[in-house]
């Protein structure tokens, strides 16, 4: 515990300005929303889990003191409660809807962020699934408003239109490898990351085609991997899609799907592995 305390103090000392909001329960997500808002949500197995929309403080200039005061704290704008853990949350572009996922199954929950005269995030409906997996990874894109990409394993990847509940895309049958992440690269191209580090590409226009395995510059072994993708603005002429992949042993690699075997950058983080 002393080591963790030292790490926390050292980390805090690196910030010039510190903004804070005290959560009543731990969260495993932090999701940016339109208007520079932030969503957080709880993931407890019992009781009610909060979904909160927070407004970061405005930029502060010419401040002499570095202590915390109300103008530096996040403002709670609205919130709601979920009776199930929330492991993932995404905004549905062009709407006031949120989509969330979490155990006990891989169904998706839809929420509506109320108008300015209300401070409530209300449950709307659910998108059921029948694959029997505990929870789904989810992604949305401004290039395809109303579309939600979701799946727990490589053979359970779907795109569903939120309002109609219609399946827009169902990935061709593949392995049951567990997914750690998925993303839209553009309005037609999907990127899937398996927990073992293997990346796959999918084309919405060709649902019958097998997912394309992407060669990766790391060995597929015992490490568990996750990924992050830089989002480009709709209509952007850029074809570059930097992908950051991080393993549970601290290996982080920045690559591009156009040249997947080339490192754009790589590093080894210092991590403490749990003892058996």
DSSP letter string, 233-275: -TT------EEEEEETTSEEEEEETTBTTS-SEEEE---PPPP
Rounded average pLDDT over 201-224: 89
6 three-state secondary structure: helix
Query: Would you say residue 4 has pLDDT above 50?
Result: yes
pLDDT in tens, 215-269: 887 888 788 999 998 776 655 555 677 899 999 988 898 988 877 777 788 888 8
**Which pLDDT score, from 0 to 100, does residue 11 have?**
72
CA-CA distance, 196 to 53, in Å (whole number)? 33
Q: Residue 126's CB: how many other CB atoms inside 10 A?
A: 14
**Which pLDDT score, from 0 to 100, does residue 60 have?**
47
Q: Which residue has the higher pLDDT, 61 or 178?
A: 178
Rounded average pLDDT over 200-212: 93
Contact, 172 vs 211, CB < 8 A? yes
Q: Please, what is the average pLDDT of the chain?
A: 85
**Which pLDDT score, from 0 to 100, does residue 40 have?**
95
Which of 65-74, 176-185, 193-202 is predicted with the least confidence, judged by mean pLDDT?
65-74
Of 207, 109, 190, 85, residue with least CA distance to 144: 190
**Which pLDDT score, from 0 to 100, does residue 173 have?**
85
**Which pLDDT score, from 0 to 100, does residue 21 have?**
77
pLDDT in tens, 95-122: 999 999 999 889 999 999 987 668 899 9
**Which pLDDT score, from 0 to 100, does residue 61 have?**
43
**Which pLDDT score, from 0 to 100, does residue 14 have?**
72
**Which pLDDT score, from 0 to 100, does residue 62 have?**
45
**Which pLDDT score, from 0 to 100, does residue 189 have?**
93
pLDDT in tens, 57-85: 776 444 555 555 556 678 899 999 999 99
Superfamily name with CATH number, domain 21-220: YVTN repeat-like/Quinoprotein amine dehydrogenase (2.130.10.10)
Of 122, 109, 229, residue with least CA distance to 162: 109
Query: Would you say residue 149 has pLDDT above 70?
Result: yes
Q: Which residue has the higher pLDDT, 161 or 17?
A: 161
**CB contact set of 98 (below 8 Å; sequence gap of 6+):** 39, 51, 89, 90, 91, 92, 110, 111, 112, 113, 121
Contact, 224 vs 247, CB < 8 A? yes
Give percent of the chain above pLDDT 90: 48
Q: Where are the domains of the chain?
A: 21-220
**Which pLDDT score, from 0 to 100, does residue 10 have?**
76
pLDDT in tens, 35-50: 889 999 999 987 789 9
């Amino acid at each position: 515990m002393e080591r963790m305390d030292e790490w926390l103090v050292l980390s805090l000392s690196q910030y010039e300005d510190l903004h804070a909001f005290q959560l009543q329960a731990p969260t495993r997500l932090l999701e940016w929303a339109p208007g520079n808002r932030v969503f957080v949500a709880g993931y407890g197995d019992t009781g009610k889990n909060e979904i909160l929309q927070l407004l970061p403080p405005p930029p502060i200039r010419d401040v002499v003191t570095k202590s915390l005061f109300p103008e530096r704290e996040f403002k709670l704008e609205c919130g709601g409660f979920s009776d199930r853990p929330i492991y993932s949350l995404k905004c549905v572009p062009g709407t006031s809807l949120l989509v969330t996922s979490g155990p006990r199954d891989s169904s998706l929950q839809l929420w509506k962020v109320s108008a300015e005269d209300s401070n409530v995030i209300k449950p709307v409906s659910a998108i059921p699934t029948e694959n029997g997996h505990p929870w789904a990874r989810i992604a949305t894109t401004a290039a395809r408003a109303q579309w939600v990409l979701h799946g727990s394993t490589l053979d359970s990847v779907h795109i569903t239109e939120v309002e109609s509940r219609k399946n827009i895309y169902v990935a061709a049958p593949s392995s049951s490898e567990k997914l750690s992440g998925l993303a839209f690269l553009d309005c037609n191209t999907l990127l899937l990351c398996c927990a073992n580090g293997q990346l796959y590409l999918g084309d919405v226009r060709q649902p019958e085609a097998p997912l394309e395995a992407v060669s990766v510059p790391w060995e597929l072994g015992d490490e568990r991997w996750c990924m992050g993708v830089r989002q480009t603005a709709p209509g952007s002429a850029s074809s570059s899609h930097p992908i950051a992949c991080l393993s549970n042993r601290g290996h982080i690699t920045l690559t591009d799907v156009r040249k997947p075997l080339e490192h754009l950058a790589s590093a080894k983080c210092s991590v403490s592995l749990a003892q058996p």
